[in-house]
């Protein structure tokens, strides 16, 4: 019985990367749009970051502007409109690495729900872009290396990744969950459940 309890206790660790993620060194200069990163992005299928809508919406993402990973227009997260999946990930997170191909495949398979990736608390933007390219990502990516979005209302504390936020058409947060999707079909089912459309 003790072995069953121990295995059950370890399940969350297998599903998501826990709270022991790297912390940002405030004394370190970190440029997520450095020339080498911009060149790498230019030779990939990763598009520029989306334009956003002005105007406050109740229950929307926090009004925090983050840079586009690999260069491009910055994104005011509060201006995002759905239906959209906003996925928090990092290159150091094993569950995120496993999940990314499923998200990439889902994003390519339909156009009803847009996908945006947030490279969160990641001090290795080059490794992040390499992972995205290897995973055939063709959706926009922003970066939040300092963790500005953590605890930024109405977002919860981002204690495990991957974490996915489902945005309704008006930009309000419909659902948040920390779960690794294993297939594009899993992503589509979650989009249908929380957004009413799934592709």
Q: CATH for 31-195? A: 3.40.30.10
Alpha-carbon gap, residue 188 to 113, rounded angstroms: 9
Dump pLDDT digits (tens) for 29-85: 457 878 889 999 999 999 999 999 887 799 999 999 999 999 999 999 999 999 999
pTM (2 decimals)? 0.86
Give the burial string for 32-41 (b: 16+ CB within 10 Å, else e): bbeeebbebb
8-state DSSP, 116: E
> pLDDT confidence of 26, banded at 50, 70, 90?
very low
35-42 helix and 125-134 helix, angle to the nearest 10 degrees: 10
Domains of the chain, residue spans: 31-195
């Amino acid at each position: 019985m003790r072995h069953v309890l121990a295995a059950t206790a370890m399940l969350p660790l297998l599903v998501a990367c826990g709270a022991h993620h790297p912390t940002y060194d405030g004394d370190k200069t970190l440029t997520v749009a450095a020339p080498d990163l911009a060149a790498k992005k230019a030779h990939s299928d990763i598009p520029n970051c989306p334009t956003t809508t002005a105007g406050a919406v109740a229950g929307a993402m926090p009004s925090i502007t983050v840079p586009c990973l690999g260069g491009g227009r910055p994104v005011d997260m509060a201006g995002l409109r759905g239906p959209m999946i906003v996925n928090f990930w990092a290159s150091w997170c094993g569950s995120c690495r496993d999940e990314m191909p499923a998200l990439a495949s889902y994003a390519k398979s339909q156009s009803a729900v847009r996908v945006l990736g947030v490279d969160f608390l990641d001090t290795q933007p080059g490794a992040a872009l390499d992972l995205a390219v290897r995973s055939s990502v063709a959706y926009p990516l922003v970066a939040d290396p300092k963790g500005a979005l953590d605890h930024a209302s109405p977002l919860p504390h981002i204690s495990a990744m991957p974490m996915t936020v489902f945005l309704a058409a008006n930009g309000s947060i419909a659902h948040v969950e920390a779960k690794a999707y294993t297939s594009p079909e899993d992503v589509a089912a979650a989009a249908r459940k929380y957004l009413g459309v799934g592709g």
